[in-house]
Chains A and B, each alone.
Chain A
Amino acid sequence: MTTATKPQQATRRLTYVQAMNEVLAQEMERDPTVIVMGEDVAGGAGRKQFDEAWGGPFKLTQGLYKKFGPERVRDTPIAEAGFIGAGVGAAATGLRPVVDLMFVGFIGVCADQIFNNAAKMHYMFGGKVKLPLTIFTATGAGVGSAAQHSETLYALFAHIPGLKCVAPSNPYNAKGLMAAAIRDDDPVIVFNHKLLMGGVGGGQHVPKEPYTIPIGKANVAREGTDVTLVGISYTTYNCLQAADELARQGYSAEVIDLLSVSPMDDEAILNSVRKTKKIVIVDEDYPRCSVASDISALVAEEAFDVLDAPPKRLMAPHASVPYSPVLEDLFIPSKEKIVEAALGVLQ
């Protein structure tokens, strides 16, 4: 499946937010046990004249309250440990909750519920409970929100056995991965990058019919022969831009869109590297103990003999996300930096 070849059909262009909004409504329609809860998912809860007040800061949940009512679409108090924990309990007892952790940095106040309960209950109960819980959360720098609202933190979640983690890169795979997450019987974290939700990458053909994209599989977003670029969520967009530039300079870059941070599609990465013999891993997360480091280690251990250059990680610095636009621009692995890093391993 190569999503990059699909957008131009253009019969039905949806933005990232529209695609997510559509899949939430479709899954709620399909399965009465799906509920949505989080801060401001409806907005103005309990006030009839304002029941379409907001739909969350990114509008992902707009319209759901009107369509499905207050039992299944629940505004919560600002109590992440309380309502994410409630999602765990509801998931263990017959519901399929979809819970909004508004920004991933808020993991700081609810990590116990995700790491100690959601992730571990299936294992520590000897497989005797299932936890079909989906948590979606906003990630990423680029909109001037500074250190606590701009992280990606993939590695933090991917580190914990029992959690599945997916990071869509465009409207098409956002819809398919979200559907897969909701239908999955394990807890799944869905990372939605703020720049993608803000419209970067533009609209894209998204089929109306429900579909899923398998969790645990990467996508070859662009085929190439000279160097492998691995992107995660928004950095896939930058990798594709960089690949265009590299093509102008005479190099054929293959772009692997990781899609699933955990479990990770080791084979897709290794197959690509065996072909190109060079790899640049582009990850917006902090560099220490990161997914990019993990991929670098994977390639070094499993494909060392075919490599023409050491695996290259292109990442954010080991620093919090800065506010000032000149500093924030430096934080993000840009198209220009990807081109430079690719040329570094190519030459």
Chain B
Amino acid sequence: MATTTVRGTIAKQKLIWMYETMVLIRRFEEQARREQDSGRLRGTHSAIGQEAVPVGICAHLRDDDFVLGNHRSHHHCIAKGVDVNEMMAELLGKVTGTNRGKGGTMHIADMNKGMLGANGVVGSNIPVATGVGLSARVRKTDQVSVVFFGDGAAQQGSLHESLNLAAIWKLPVLFVCENNRYAESTPFEYSVAGGSVANRAAGYGIPGVTVDGQSVLDMYEVGGEAVRRARAGEGPTLIEAQTYRYFGHYGADNPLGYRTKEEQEFYMAKDCIARMRKHLVENKFATEAELSGIDKKCTDAIVAATKFGVDSPFPKLDELTTDVYIKYP
């Protein structure tokens, strides 16, 4: 686990970036829920509670590194620097969206920011991320590929195939399991033999690390070592970030149908943003007033993003059949 030594070396600017990015994600997701309730948006998978996972990792990444996500990926996108205006427009199906309104919440991509797509099929992006690592290797760059997937996806065969391939070829890939304890409504304890995803790394001869995914500083430390390894050509790392999904799987579904209120309160008491805020204030990296200023800035950014999205036009109707092929014979 994290040591104070490494934490002590994180620059203030980086700490503030991590706090601000987590807050921006949360404001975005809260707004997405409001848009869903108002009917302008037809449902999303909320990442509230899981903000620290991609933020701690992406703090080490460059624009030319790649992140691949899953159905619950707004936090991955924002952590990788995708513009929230374009994201909100995409959620609303507008032509100004990241994907010109053709992908929506589950497929947000931005190649300029190294966001190679959320993906609606559970486990589907894991092999793709492995190929991104292969590409970096063959092109002789030091780019890194990071794939985020859930505890549900960790039960797909695609993870086994990809871990094996990345290990034998020593590819620069971070396999990050965001263990939020539920595959839709199916508990981790029920579906994961052996009780750990990270332990499976041993079978492939690669490092497997379990980390408190509700601590952005722990995520930062674990991510730093994994990214260093990848860039140095030492191969992949499997990270199991233990986190919690505050809301239901999708849309407005109520998780109290399959988990207890006590359990929810236990995890919500370890909220990643509240803990980071406390850390920043106690260690005098920022004052309460400064952090409230950041909070306000994030709220304003999401208000502006929503206005941008709502005011933007829908795609022209002939876009229905464009982009099927790049070059149609």
Contact A79 B165 (CB under 8 A): yes
User: A94 to B103, alpha carbons, bound, how many Å?
Assistant: 22
Q: Is A145 an interface residue (CB 8 A)?
A: no
Contact B325 A122 (CB under 8 A): yes
Contact B131 A123 (CB under 8 A): no
Q: Is B127 an interface residue (CB 8 A)?
A: yes
CB 8 Å contact bits of A23-55 with B (1 = contact, 0 = none): 000000000010100000000000000000000
Contact A92 B132 (CB under 8 A): yes
Contact A112 B134 (CB under 8 A): no
B66, B111, B129, B329: residue with the most chain A Cβ atoms closer than 10 Å: B329
Contact B130 A82 (CB under 8 A): yes
CB 8 Å contact bits of A210-252 with B (1 = contact, 0 = none): 0000111100000000000000000000000000000000000
Contact B127 A85 (CB under 8 A): yes
B175 to nearest A CB, angstroms? Answer: 12
User: A263 to B321, alpha carbons, bound, how many Å?
Assistant: 14
User: A117 to B121, alpha carbons, bound, how many Å?
Assistant: 9
Contact B111 A129 (CB under 8 A): yes
Q: Is B317 an interface residue (CB 8 A)?
A: no
Residues of chain B within 8 A (CB-CB) of A215 are 329
Number of interface residues of B (CB under 8 A): 52
B88 to nearest A CB, angstroms? Answer: 15
Q: Is A299 an interface residue (CB 8 A)?
A: no
Question: Pick the contact of A90 from B68, B110, B135 — CB < 8 Å?
Answer: B135
User: A116 to B124, alpha carbons, bound, how many Å?
Assistant: 8
Residues of chain A within 8 A (CB-CB) of B121 are 112, 116
B91 to nearest A CB, angstroms? Answer: 14
Q: Is B243 an interface residue (CB 8 A)?
A: no
Question: Pick the contact of A184 from B126, B169, B327 — CB < 8 Å?
Answer: B327
Contact B100 A89 (CB under 8 A): no
The residue in chain A whose Cβ has the minimal distance to the Cβ of B98 is A126
Say whether, besides A82-B130, A91-B131, A126 and B103 are in contact (CB < 8 Å).
yes
The segment from A69-77, A192-200, A328-336 that touches chain B is: A69-77
Q: Is B239 an interface residue (CB 8 A)?
A: no
Question: Pick the contact of A260 from B98, B126, B329 — CB < 8 Å?
Answer: B329
Question: Pick the contact of B128 from A72, A86, A95 — CB < 8 Å?
Answer: A86
Contact A82 B164 (CB under 8 A): yes
CB 8 Å contact bits of B98-121 with A (1 = contact, 0 = none): 111111000101110000110111
Residues of chain A within 8 A (CB-CB) of B129 are 89
Residues of chain A within 8 A (CB-CB) of B99 are 124-126, 128
Q: Is B284 an interface residue (CB 8 A)?
A: no
Residues of chain A within 8 A (CB-CB) of B165 are 76-77, 79, 82-83, 86
A124, A127, A129, A185: residue with the most chain B Cβ atoms closer than 10 Å: A124
Residues of chain B within 8 A (CB-CB) of A311 are none
Number of interface residues of A (CB under 8 A): 50
Residues of chain B within 8 A (CB-CB) of A74 are 169
Residues of chain B within 8 A (CB-CB) of A260 are 329
User: A85 to B145, alpha carbons, bound, how many Å?
Assistant: 14
Say whether, besides A85-B128, A89-B130, A94 and B117 are in contact (CB < 8 Å).
no
> With contacts defined as CB atoms under 8 Å apart, how many contacts are there between chain A and chain B in the complex?
163
Question: Pick the contact of B109 from A86, A87, A91, A129 — CB < 8 Å?
Answer: A129
User: A161 to B328, alpha carbons, bound, how many Å?
Assistant: 11
B99, B134, B139, B157: residue with the most chain A Cβ atoms closer than 10 Å: B134
Residues of chain B within 8 A (CB-CB) of A164 are 325
Residues of chain A within 8 A (CB-CB) of B138 are 35, 71-72, 90, 95
B234 to nearest A CB, angstroms? Answer: 18
User: A76 to B120, alpha carbons, bound, how many Å?
Assistant: 26
A192 to nearest B CB, angstroms? Answer: 21
User: A185 to B302, alpha carbons, bound, how many Å?
Assistant: 37
Q: Is B193 an interface residue (CB 8 A)?
A: no
B168 to nearest A CB, angstroms? Answer: 7
Say whether, besides A123-B324, A125-B109, A263-B328, A89 and B103 are in contact (CB < 8 Å).
no
Contact B131 A87 (CB under 8 A): yes
Contact B128 A117 (CB under 8 A): yes
A157 to nearest B CB, angstroms? Answer: 14
Contact B134 A86 (CB under 8 A): yes
Contact B109 A128 (CB under 8 A): yes
A263 to nearest B CB, angstroms? Answer: 6
A-B residue pairs, 7 tightest by C-beta: A85-B127, A89-B131, A216-B329, A82-B161, A126-B100, A86-B131, A126-B99
Other CB < 8 Å A-B pairs besides A72-B138, A82-B161, A85-B126, 19 of them? A35-B138, A76-B165, A82-B127, A84-B127, A86-B165, A88-B127, A89-B116, A89-B134, A94-B139, A95-B135, A113-B128, A117-B125, A123-B102, A125-B117, A127-B100, A129-B111, A161-B324, A215-B329, A217-B329
What are 17 A-B pairs with beta-carbon distances under 8 A?
A76-B165, A81-B158, A82-B158, A85-B128, A86-B134, A90-B134, A92-B135, A94-B139, A97-B131, A112-B124, A122-B324, A122-B325, A122-B326, A124-B103, A184-B327, A185-B326, A215-B329
- Interface residues, chain B, with chain A CB atoms under 8 Å away: 66, 68, 97-103, 107, 109-111, 116-117, 119-121, 124-139, 143, 145, 157-158, 161-162, 164-165, 168-169, 322-329
